Chain A
Amino acid sequence: MNKDIKVENVRLVDGISSKKAALGTLYLTATHVIFVENAPDTRKETWILHSQISTIEKQATTATGCPLLVRCKNFQLLQLVIPQERDCHDVYISLLRLARPVKYEELYCFSFNPKLDREEREQGWMLIDLSEEYKRMGLPNNYWQLSDVNRDYRVCDSYPTQLYVPKSATAHIIVGSSKFRSRRRFPALSYYYKDNHVSICRSSQPLSGFSARCLEDEQMLQAIRKASPGSDFIYVVDTRPKLNAMANRAAGKGYENEDNYSNIKFQFIGIENIHVMRNSLQKMLEVCELKSPSMSDFLWGLENSGWLRHIKAIMDAGIFIAKAVSEEGASVLVHCSDGWDRTAQACSVAGLLLDPHYRTLKGFMVLIEKDWISFGHKFNHRYGNLDGDPREISPVIDQFIECVWQLMEQFPCAFEFNERFLIHIQHHIYSCQFGNFLCNSQKERQELKIQERTYSLWAHLWKNRGDYLNPLFRDDPSQTQGTLHLPTMPCNFMYKFWSGMYNRFEKGLQPRQSVTDYLMAVKEETQQLEEELEALEERLERIQKVQLNRTQVKSKQSEPSKHSGFSTSDNSTANTPQDYSGNMKSFPSRSPSQGDEDSALILTQDNLKSSDPDLSANSDQESGVEDLSCRSPSGGECVPGEDSGKDRDSDEAVFLTA
């Protein structure tokens, strides 16, 4: 293990729009990069988990030192300026090594200790129980049963051991079908839609090549169809672009031939592969990193990245499946190539549209546990937890999480959880602080004894659920009842750039007052008022009983005194002016040459950094007061809880509400 490194007089520039550099000391520990500011009154600390580090870039040395640019997987961007070249090199080399662990045991979750005893840890792991979930769906029933065919991962090592399959699918059929599917990922149940008795199943692509067929696989699909007696066909949805699927045929893989399978309707939905998605995100992040971009720079960049087009493709897949299941009453088999990326996206978006349960806090955890964790989404490879092939890395689950946010924007009352919940889940997929997302499959996790050696994120989130509630969530009315109906027209304008995620550390770009936090505080106060009201009524009743025979009391109408619970602390708006003036400097101390007016103008335009707010910030009480920000009970953007997120920085000020 590396020895801890400590470098003094390092300057930290946090974020793209930040103009200030903080002077402090940099520490590298086994798990974190820690920066402690020198400023004696604050000693502000910035903690970055090594596993969050995406890239480290050594930039050209300047007069002030050697800059290191650190990009994080949670979209944080830090620039460290280290005075000595030698120190900079040491830090760089150490970080390169620390950010790319080679053994699981090096990851933070194996040293993270939230001070819970064994029993609490075990209970934490039991919070989300998939067998309960299948029961909730109404399984097993006359048509579906739990199969033990994959006991000890005998058939498919990236599948879970507990799988639901049609009753009529014998072990012979399943094994036969698995041999005809990439990585033996045979069709298995992902979701059962009780209302119509139809299913969403998932698998990998068939090894059909140009003409191969497999009787058992055909029987397997037939068994799925027969398990929904009300429907005489099933959809087979291939989530890849047709061209990609065709190319796979040359490699002996491919897609189902409608002639060989009885009663299937085959449908392509063009979600691009992981490499396209990785590049797309890269391009979009480059746009986010632009310094003072124009509107055109931004919109062009966003369009060229193709990111929102990809998000829409994933949504379209989910919408297609949800419609087939709820409106046409037809079962659907979903696959892509290996059936662990696009298939997971499509199935989970469809589930979210179809079932209100998945739009609750716990239900959403179940959904990720079911469609992603248990079905062998390769978290380790996709999110680069261990040092590996960079071409395996791709923001697959990030895209799903964004789809959820896009839906939340359109159905503000349909989700029990808020944006912060999504952001924190994204953070922890990369943080490796909890064991949930480790490894590439259930099998690997079992071998590593994850549940005995690490803690569960779900328990942690559940414990802090107060921070993650959506105050607008309605338990009963139209939008939480059943399916979310999206317009059938291609409303592209519905898909928006998610600044709260990709620019989440650029606080200046976010709305300065959070409606969610405001309403949560109101609701909290309402609850206290309800309790107080009850207590008051009780007391009143008691006293009135005592006074029953005494004087009748006339109570005057009283003007209600303003209840001060939350209202005072909230509205101060965190806020200092931004750079509105491009590159203008403050007044030049000397009047520019007076004769030539045009040269004077050039001065005005370019050199007159008039309104750098920092000039006056210190002397101005407002900058202090305004930094109080809007109410933010859980610290807004700061990383959750007691964990990695010792990101005390800017949010500290938020709480100075006194």
Chain B
Amino acid sequence: MEFAELIKTPRVDNVVLHRPFYPAVEGTLCLTGHHLILSSRQDNTEELWLLHSNIDAIDKRFVGPLGTIIIKCKDFRIIQLDIPGMEECLNIASSIEALSTLDSITLMYPFFYRPMFEVIEDGWHSFLPEQEFELYSSATSEWRLSYVNKEFAVCPSYPPIVIVPKAIDDEALRKVATFRHGGRFPVLSYYHKKNGMVIMRSGQPLTGTNGRRCKEDEKLINATLRAGKRGYIIDTRPLNVAQQARAKGGGFEQEAHYPQWRRIHKSIERYHILQESLIKLVEACNDQTHNMDRWLSRLEASNWLTHIKEILTTACLAAQCLDREGASILIHGTEGTDSTLQVTSLAQIILEPRSRTIQGFEALIEREWLQAGHPFQQRCAQSAYCNSKQKWESPVFLLFLDCVWQILRQFPCSFEFNENLLIMLFEHAYASQFGTFLGNNESERCKLKLQQKTMSLWSWVNRPSELSKFANPLFEANNLVIWPSVAPQSLQLWEGIFLRWNRSSKYLDEAYEEMVNIIEYNKELQAKVNILRRQLAELETEDGMQESP
């Protein structure tokens, strides 16, 4: 297919662009296969470069011959284009609609993008599972790498390499895979070096209504327990949902078959409930007509912060079981690709200082989200302005990022990265020039040959010039566990995401700048003082040598 077929009117003059907090700009609108570009042809005026894939929905309306297109982006921005000429306007609108909803992944921009920067380190090889495993292997010999899923035959949503108990062979893993939803047998998610306890994750057990059991499954997870120790199974679904799942062949670990494990049910929502929550929240944030009370009730009615509280609470509980109770845990919901990953990754943020560094956090995203098979392609297909109501669209990843932001707000000095890194990840998960978030799992990414045909997001991020934007000036390494508060008073709306386009950030930016200046100036002085001290010491020794021959 040629993009040209979809572009009936490639350019229109005298288009006026309206954006929040900027004066209107008049210029020429150009449509390319992947971008919407507005150029004012004045050197100093900012132009609009918008990826079609960032467009969530458009509205059009006409007043006489003047058409208006309102573009609602996946990053929640709303912009308006006034286009003279009804035909031009209709053409542009239909092109945008077609180009922003391309069916084929291989037509997406990452397959066409040619980077203009020098790649220092290829991000596709930045976080190899073998390397990650090495971090553990010095501390324990109870785990091994398994290549049982090399061809993605055992579990289509798992990566080729997973970490499993040493005592369990690949044959047993194959059997366990048949007993777990989507073939997602229990694998290692996190090893807590302090006490050797672990977090594992999996899909739900397929017990069905007649209470099917699987000896290998029991053996596998028991292999992670020390003698006489018990573990916890955290099921992210409420009990009644887990019970209902039995009717569809799913289920949960029954007491009788897993006597060394205690099950705890939490209730983290999934799918369209989260999507509706996001839609309501963004609607409330964009509506500036209501009074104070309606704002609070709309914030409440969106339930967004309720989800945040529930996810964070579950992650804290998991971390607490591990660190305070000294117990290993297994976490799953139904598929083990959504709420499960929220919990396992947030627990690591709380427990593991490394995951609070930039590299460590990237590794966490790579390991616990991308390789763990969170279906980004499906979940992030649409954002807050869509009305497609597909079951698979859901802001699971955004909720995770929001939870990280909540912890960052409570521990502003314990993270190497700042809010900008989280915002950047949100943007790229929904629309990107990089291939990182394409596909739903490693198997799909392999088939798409993303490593060969697209650029990795990490290749771009991990260059010094980019990294400096994401560095938290307040960071001071903190090797302790950080326990966030999950009380409603401690949780706030993430303004950097949800009010980003609705309020001026001028004064907040100024404050950030000032903070950076204070710290930079301090470092500068430290360096100067150190040089002078050294100089002086040298002078004084020489002086001393000369004066006392």
Q: Write out the residue numbers on chain B whose beta carbons fall within 8 Å of the beta carbon of A556.
A: 534, 538
B271 CB to nearest chain A CB (Å) = 20
Interface residue A17 (Cβ < 8 Å from any Cβ of B): yes
Interface residue B256 (Cβ < 8 Å from any Cβ of A): yes
Are A299 and B522 in contact, CB atoms less than 8 angstroms apart? no
User: At the interface, is chain A mostly helix, strand, loop or mixed?
Assistant: loop
Other-chain residue from A299, A493, A506, A544 in contact with B305 (beta carbon distance below 8 A) = A299
Q: Write out the residue numbers on chain B whose beta carbons fall within 8 Å of the beta carbon of A553.
A: 535, 538-539, 542
Are A620 and B529 in contact, CB atoms less than 8 angstroms apart? no
Q: Write out the residue numbers on chain A whose beta carbons fall within 8 Å of the beta carbon of B487.
A: 17, 292-293, 506, 508-509, 578
User: In the complex, what distance in Å separates the CA atom of A547 from the CA atom of B538?
Assistant: 13
Q: Write out the residue numbers on chain A whose beta carbons fall within 8 Å of the beta carbon of B256.
A: 594-595, 597
Q: Write out the residue numbers on chain A whose beta carbons fall within 8 Å of the beta carbon of B254.
A: 597
Are A543 and B539 in contact, CB atoms less than 8 angstroms apart? yes
Nearest to A561 among chain B residues (CB) is B530
User: In the complex, what distance in Å separates the CA atom of A499 from the CA atom of B488?
Assistant: 10
* 14 more A-B residue pairs beyond the given contacts A309-B291, A547-B542, A560-B527, with a C-beta to C-beta distance below 8 A: A295-B303, A295-B491, A302-B296, A412-B507, A491-B288, A509-B485, A523-B518, A526-B521, A529-B526, A543-B539, A561-B530, A577-B316, A584-B264, A587-B262
Interface residue A73 (Cβ < 8 Å from any Cβ of B): no
A425 CB to nearest chain B CB (Å) = 22
User: In the complex, what distance in Å separates the CA atom of A605 from the CA atom of B252?
Assistant: 15
Q: Write out the residue numbers on chain A whose beta carbons fall within 8 Å of the beta carbon of B493.
A: 493
Are A299 and B299 in contact, CB atoms less than 8 angstroms apart? yes
Are A294 and B530 in contact, CB atoms less than 8 angstroms apart? no
A553-B542, A597-B256 are contacts. A493–B499 as well, Cβ < 8 Å? yes
> Can you sample 7 A-B contacts with CB below 8 Å?
A294-B309, A295-B308, A518-B412, A543-B540, A581-B264, A591-B259, A611-B324
Are B296 and A413 in contact, CB atoms less than 8 angstroms apart? no
Are A604 and B264 in contact, CB atoms less than 8 angstroms apart? yes
User: In the complex, what distance in Å separates the CA atom of A303 from the CA atom of B326?
Assistant: 41
User: In the complex, what distance in Å separates the CA atom of A597 from the CA atom of B531?
Assistant: 70
Max count, chain A CB within 10 A of own CB: residue among B295, B297, B502, B542 = B295
Q: Count contacts on B: residues with CB < 8 A to the other chain.
A: 96
User: At the interface, is chain B mostly helix, strand, loop or mixed?
Assistant: helix
Q: Write out the residue numbers on chain B whose beta carbons fall within 8 Å of the beta carbon of A309.
A: 291-293
Interface residue A613 (Cβ < 8 Å from any Cβ of B): yes
Interface residue B480 (Cβ < 8 Å from any Cβ of A): yes
Q: Write out the residue numbers on chain B whose beta carbons fall within 8 Å of the beta carbon of A474.
A: 510, 514
Interface residue A308 (Cβ < 8 Å from any Cβ of B): yes
Are A303 and B297 in contact, CB atoms less than 8 angstroms apart? yes
Nearest to B528 among chain A residues (CB) is A533
Are A526 and B320 in contact, CB atoms less than 8 angstroms apart? no
Q: Write out the residue numbers on chain A whose beta carbons fall within 8 Å of the beta carbon of B481.
A: 575, 622, 626
Nearest to A600 among chain B residues (CB) is B255
B415 CB to nearest chain A CB (Å) = 10
Nearest to A553 among chain B residues (CB) is B539
Q: Write out the residue numbers on chain B whose beta carbons fall within 8 Å of the beta carbon of A491.
A: 288, 502-503
Q: Which of B92-100, B170-178, B388-396, B471-479 contacts A (4 or more CB under 8 A)?
A: B471-479
Are A543 and B536 in contact, CB atoms less than 8 angstroms apart? yes
Are A560 and B476 in contact, CB atoms less than 8 angstroms apart? no
The number of A-B residue pairs with CB atoms under 8 Å apart is 287
Are B543 and A295 in contact, CB atoms less than 8 angstroms apart? no
Interface residue B319 (Cβ < 8 Å from any Cβ of A): yes
Other-chain residue from B414, B486, B510, B518 in contact with A578 (beta carbon distance below 8 A) = B486
A560-B526, A608-B264 are contacts. A546–B511 as well, Cβ < 8 Å? no
Are B296 and A472 in contact, CB atoms less than 8 angstroms apart? no
List residues of A whose CB falls within 8 A of some B CB: 17, 288, 292-300, 302-303, 306, 308-309, 312, 410-414, 471-472, 474, 477-479, 487, 489-497, 499, 503, 506, 508-513, 515, 518-519, 522-523, 525-526, 529-530, 532-533, 536-537, 539-540, 543-544, 546-547, 550-551, 553, 555-558, 560-561, 563, 567, 570-573, 575-578, 580-581, 584, 586-587, 591-592, 594-595, 597-598, 600-601, 604-605, 608, 610-611, 613, 615-616, 620, 622, 625-626, 630
B393 CB to nearest chain A CB (Å) = 23
Are B525 and A529 in contact, CB atoms less than 8 angstroms apart? yes
Q: Write out the residue numbers on chain B whose beta carbons fall within 8 Å of the beta carbon of A561.
A: 530
User: In the complex, what distance in Å separates the CA atom of A586 from the CA atom of B197?
Assistant: 18
Q: Write out the residue numbers on chain A whose beta carbons fall within 8 Å of the beta carbon of B543.
A: 543, 546-547
Q: Write out the residue numbers on chain A whose beta carbons fall within 8 Å of the beta carbon of B535.
A: 540, 553, 555
A295-B306, A479-B507 are contacts. A511–B412 as well, Cβ < 8 Å? yes
Q: Write out the residue numbers on chain B whose beta carbons fall within 8 Å of the beta carbon of A297.
A: 488
A477-B510, A533-B528 are contacts. A594–B488 as well, Cβ < 8 Å? no
User: In the complex, what distance in Å separates the CA atom of A639 from the CA atom of B255?
Assistant: 52
Are B324 and A615 in contact, CB atoms less than 8 angstroms apart? yes
User: In the complex, what distance in Å separates the CA atom of A556 from the CA atom of B542?
Assistant: 14
Interface residue B285 (Cβ < 8 Å from any Cβ of A): yes
Interface residue B210 (Cβ < 8 Å from any Cβ of A): no
Q: Write out the residue numbers on chain A whose beta carbons fall within 8 Å of the beta carbon of B292.
A: 308-309, 312, 492, 495
What string of 1s and 0s marks CB contacts (under 8 Å) between B282-323 and chain A? 000100111111111101100101101100011011011101
User: In the complex, what distance in Å separates the CA atom of A296 from the CA atom of B305?
Assistant: 9
